[in-house]
Amino acid sequence: MIQAPVSNELFERAQHTIPGGVNSPVRAFRAVGGNPRFMVSAKGPYMFDEDGNQYVEFINSWGPMILGHAPAVVQEAVMAAVPNSLSFGAPTRKEVEMAELIVSMVPGIEKVRMVNSGTEATMSAVRVARGYTGRSKFIKFEGCYHGHGDSFLISAGSGAITLGVPDSPGVTTGVAADTLTAPYNDLNAVQTLVDANKGEIAAIILEPVAGNMGLVVPEQGFLQGLRDICDKEGIVLIFDEVMTGFRLASGGAQQLYGVTPDMTTLGKIIGGGMPVGAYGGKAEIMNYVAPAGPVYQAGTLSGNPIAMSAGMAMLSHLKNNPEVYAQLEQTAARMVAGMEANMQKLGVKFTINRVGSMFSIFFTDKPVTDFESAKTSDTALFGKYFNAMLKRGIYLAPSQYEALFIST
């Protein structure tokens, strides 16, 4: 059994220097009435906290560590790169090879640009889509999260992550003027928005599997339906695969569901634990990026050799060892079966959504297919379960919608 932290000294210090305290899990710890545990190291499936407790980690640091923490392939690649390239401001072979690797793995990407995070990737993709279409509006889905950038993200159903306090100076909590929002899994709503804004919509952006609502799965025909609307109306379809890319299959959700978007955004796994993001798509669209096209895009550290080395080690491993995905899926299926049995025994109401190695437990007995149904998960039950598991050394991911999000 895990002991409560002896001292919360670091937690106190963080309050003074970091607005809002340390990174996002703190919010979740607070939501369940506790202070965060500070981790000192992680290896394979385990994390170790400052008080010497060991946890089995089921969030993969929110997604990137598909091979567990500190995988040898990535560690070796980084160690080999560091002596030659702590800083590098010139083109390197590694950036080209990384781009070729991504293009070879992701069906919808013919050309790709490297950035430093998923947020940058989505913001860049939206800018390029606007440049390409000459239109400014776009459609996003309630509850989908596309990073902490402003404008198109503001409010739009992204809950705790993007909402500020209403009416605070400088905080816009309404939906940005050129963002139209639709409920997930509702093609009719999308068609209605498109019809009401004929010729004005640059892009439809979504998480093809909505990990940030807990986990909401696209209903049969939803992704293809969006593809058809976009083809008919000259709209750029953007799959934000920051969470699903290289996770649900080596080619991401678009490979799993057989629907190819015009643009794709990537993050998390792509860096093997280093800060890397990327966005890409059809060559015709990506050629709008400067200097070939008018949309400026550059980044001091984008494509830096250390990050590229880590990313390439991770992606090559996944490409060359496709059995990883079947193994992860089997593990997830076993865990779901165990949790289902456990919940039934406890008499707790629950709904589990799962795709491949990602699954989520909502504390509700209703099907969860969109933002509204995701919100019916019972906060108190969620807190109880989260804390009970933490005490047993099982570190689950508390999603902002009071569902437990788990990726094996």
Q: Are 208 and 222 in contact (CB under 8 A)?
A: no
Instruction: Convert 270-304 into a string of H (helix), E (strand) and C (coil).
Output: HHECECCEEEEECHHHHCCECCCCCECCCCCCCCC
Place of tokens 């799962």: 354
Q: CA distances (Å), 202 to each of 41, 131, 205, 239, 282, in order? A: 44, 9, 10, 14, 15
Task: Please list every residue from 226 through 255 that binds ligand PLP, using CB under 6 A.
Answer: 240, 242-243
370 carries an active-site annotation: no
Residues 195-214 contacting ligand PLP, CB under 6 A? 207, 211-212
Q: Which of 138, 141, 145, 386 binds ligand PLP (CB under 6 A)?
A: 145
Q: Is 132 a catalytic residue?
A: no
CB of 120 to ligand PLP, least distance (A): 7
Site size for ligand PLP, by CB under 6 A? Answer: 15
Q: Which of residues 326-355 bind ligand PLP (CB under 6 A)?
A: none
CB closer to ligand PLP out of 5 and 245: 245
Q: Which of 240, 262, 370, 378 is catalytic?
A: 240
Is 378 a residue that touches ligand PLP (CB under 6 A)? no
For 370-401, letters b (16+ CB in 10 Å) and e give: bbebbbebbeebbbebbeebbeebebbbbbbb
| Residue closest to ligand PLP when measured from CB atoms | 118
Comparing CA positions, the residue from 8, 65, 72 lying closest to residue 268 is: 65
Determine if 375 is a binding residue for ligand PLP (CB under 6 A): no
Nearer to ligand PLP, 36 or 271 (CB): 271
Q: Count of alpha carbons within 13 Å of 117, Cβ hemisphere only?
A: 7
- Residues 260-279, one symbol each (x = binds ligand PLP by CB under 6 A, - = not), give -------x---------x--
Q: How far apart are CA 330 and CA 333, in angstroms?
A: 5
| 81 vs 210, beta carbon nearer ligand PLP | 210
Catalytic one among 94, 111, 140, 268? Answer: 268
Residue number with CB closer to ligand PLP (257 or 350): 257
**φ, ψ dihedrals at 331, nearest 5°:** -60, -45
d(CA 48, CA 41): 5
Under rule CB under 6 A, residue 53 binds ligand PLP: no
State in angstroms the smallest separation of the CB of 113 from ligand PLP: 15
Please state, in angstroms and as integers, the Cα–Cα distance from residue 235 to each residue in 11, 119, 276, 297, following that order: 47, 21, 27, 22
The binder of ligand PLP chosen from 36, 108, 147, 218 (CB under 6 A): 147
268 counts as catalytic: yes
Nearest distance, CB of residue 208 and ligand PLP, angstroms = 9
Assess whether the previous peptide bond of 291 is cis (omega < 30° from 0).
Answer: yes
Binding mask 108-127 for ligand PLP (x = CB under 6 A): ---------xxx--x-----
* Amino acid letter, residue 280: G
Return the number of the residue (117 or 408) whose C-beta is nearest ligand PLP: 117
Answer yes or no whether residue 398 interacts with ligand PLP by CB under 6 A.
Answer: no
| DSSP codes of every residue in 106-164 | -TT-SEEEEESSHHHHHHHHHHHHHHHHT--EEEEETT----S-SGGGSSTT-HHHH--
CB of 205 to ligand PLP, least distance (A): 9
Binding site for ligand PLP (CB under 6 A): 117-119, 122, 145-147, 207, 211-212, 240, 242-243, 267, 277
Residues with catalytic roles: 145, 240, 268
